[in-house]
Amino acid sequence: MKGSGQTAQGCIEYLYADHHGWLKAWLLRRLGNSSDAADLTQDVFVRLILRPAPKGLNSSGEARAYLRRMANGMCIDLWRRRSLEQAWLESLAHQPEALMPSAEQQVMVLQALQEIDQLLLSLPAKAASAFVMAVGCEMSDREVAEELGISTRMVRKHVARVMLHCMQLEARHLAADPGILRVGS
């Protein structure tokens, strides 16, 4: 990139000035929606401000490849959130009106689902799958083991590992803000 002694802010300014339009056009082709493309383009540059690009983006091609990787990951996150939201809305559509949660409760559940999704993505795939099958789908250890091609002992280990991870995250949340009210509290 121009001038290897640039500051992080200078690097971001350069990336923004030289690649904003290109990135927005790339995202528009990928997403098919100009509002989403504009939002994600801005989100990429906000993320760069919070966590600057690695040194060594010496060419326009390297910079674009880096921005494209970031934006692609953000597209996947957007699609995942929307898919989760759509599944939740479809689930709500089948509820009798008398059992329909309030708008506030719907938002809280959707946020919780998104947090769970992020948690599961941060875990090894087999551990996350074992947990979802055993806890979410109420499958027996034997059924999960057969499905994943592992032992029942390993199923219990995976489920325990995920539960421990959840408890550690909850403890961190509570330590960070002891006044927060968690669902089910």
44 with 102, same domain? no
Of 59, 85, 111, the last residue of a domain is 85
Per the domain annotation, does 184 fall within a domain?
Answer: no
| Confidence (pLDDT) at 141 | 94
Among 67, 70, 49, which residue's Cα sits nearest to residue 59? 67
Per the domain annotation, does 159 fall within a domain?
Answer: yes
Is the separation of the CB atoms in 149 and 110 below 8 Å? Answer: no
| Confidence (pLDDT) at 19 | 92
Within 8 A by CB and 6+ apart from 66, the residues are 53, 54, 57
Dist. CA 143–CA 150, nearest whole Å: 10
Instruction: Look up the domain containing 125 and give its range.
Output: 97-176
Per the domain annotation, does 181 fall within a domain?
Answer: no
39 with 77, same domain? yes
76 with 116, same domain? no
Of 85, 108, 140, the last residue of a domain is 85
CA 119, 123, 128 angle in degrees (round to 5)? 85
| Confidence (pLDDT) at 180 | 55
Is the separation of the CB atoms in 20 and 45 below 8 Å? Answer: yes
Per the domain annotation, does 133 fall within a domain?
Answer: yes
126 with 146, same domain? yes
| Confidence (pLDDT) at 92 | 85
| Confidence (pLDDT) at 181 | 54
Per the domain annotation, does 107 fall within a domain?
Answer: yes
Q: How many domains does one find in the chain?
A: 2
pTM as predicted: 0.59
CATH number at residue 148: 1.10.10.10
181 dihedral zone (left: phi>0; alpha: psi -120 to 50; beta): beta
Per the domain annotation, does 63 fall within a domain?
Answer: yes
| Confidence (pLDDT) at 119 | 83
For 170-179, the pLDDT digits (tens) are 888 777 776 6
Dist. CA 80–CA 112, nearest whole Å: 14
Q: Say whether 25 sits in a helix, a strand or coil.
A: helix
Dist. CA 30–CA 106, nearest whole Å: 29
Dist. CA 70–CA 74, nearest whole Å: 6
Dist. CA 174–CA 172, nearest whole Å: 5
Query: Which residues, given as ranges, of the chain have pLDDT below 70?
Result: 1-9, 53, 56-58, 178-185
| Confidence (pLDDT) at 110 | 85
